[in-house]
Amino acid sequence: MLKTVKGKIVAGAITVALVSSAGGVVFGASDAGSKLKNWYDVQFGNAKKTVEAEADAYWKDGLTTEDKEIGLMIDQANAEIAAEGMKQTEDKTKNIRKAADGYIDDLKMEREKIIAGMQKQFDEIYSNRVTQFQAEGQTYVTKKIGELSAATGKTGEAEVEKTKKQLNDVKDQAVKDLKETIENSKRDLLTKLNSNSMKTKQDLEKAVDGEINRIHGVVETKKVELVNEQKKVIETAAKTIQSKAELELKALVNGIGL
């Protein structure tokens, strides 16, 4: 780029010299040297103005173009940084959600397994106790009927029927009481299980939210760090270009009279 600037400036200076020479100058023999020096000073002044004007104009154009390119680089850096942040957030969110869902599914499966086993356990208690009560009641009734039959006649038989009814009522009440106890126990356990499940779910959701916030903070900090690094790189590059341009322009001006 700077070689092109040099070419334009030198060409302009040569054009000024040639045009001025084409007009022709007549010097007297006695003052030829001083007139040549005056003529040269005028030509040099014109050449200097032309070179400096063109160099300044080209320098401003170069800075304008560079500003646009640096702006594009900054936009690209911001876009890449934002894209990476979005990618990391999406990836880590999926992983966290997958882990949390796995724990939740395991808890749900285990809860259902416990509930299913619990039902079976209470059913076994109920069945065993009912069978026991029925067997014991029947044995007891049979025994009492035998005793009463041996000891009494019709009165004894009537008393046996009364006893059978009373014992059957006792058995029925015992079965009813046991059923209610079982149902109340199951209902209480299910309520506690539901409460614990809800609390565990809420705790896991809080854990997921906390992890997402932590990831967001890490990515945000890294974004600031990367943007600052890019700013430093751009600033260093701009200073290098500026220094190089100033040196070349200075060398170009110094070499005009050579």
For the stretch 159-168, pLDDT in tens is: 667 777 888 8
Within-domain flag for 80: yes
- pLDDT for 43: 92
pLDDT of 221 > 70? The answer is yes
- pLDDT for 54: 92
- pLDDT for 150: 65
**Higher model confidence: residue 157 or residue 120?**
120
Within-domain flag for 27: no
Average pLDDT, the chain: 76
Range of the domain at 46: 2-22+32-254
Within-domain flag for 108: yes
Render pLDDT for 223-243 as a digit per residue (tens, 0 to 9). Answer: 788 888 888 888 888 888 888
pLDDT of 247 > 80? The answer is yes
| % the chain with pLDDT above 70 | 80
Q: What is the mean pLDDT of residues 54-71?
A: 89
Within-domain flag for 75: yes
Within-domain flag for 6: yes
- pLDDT for 27: 46
**Domains held by the chain: number:** 1
Q: State how far the Cα of 224 lies from the Cα of 207, in Å rounded to an integer.
A: 26
Is pTM beyond 0.75 here? no
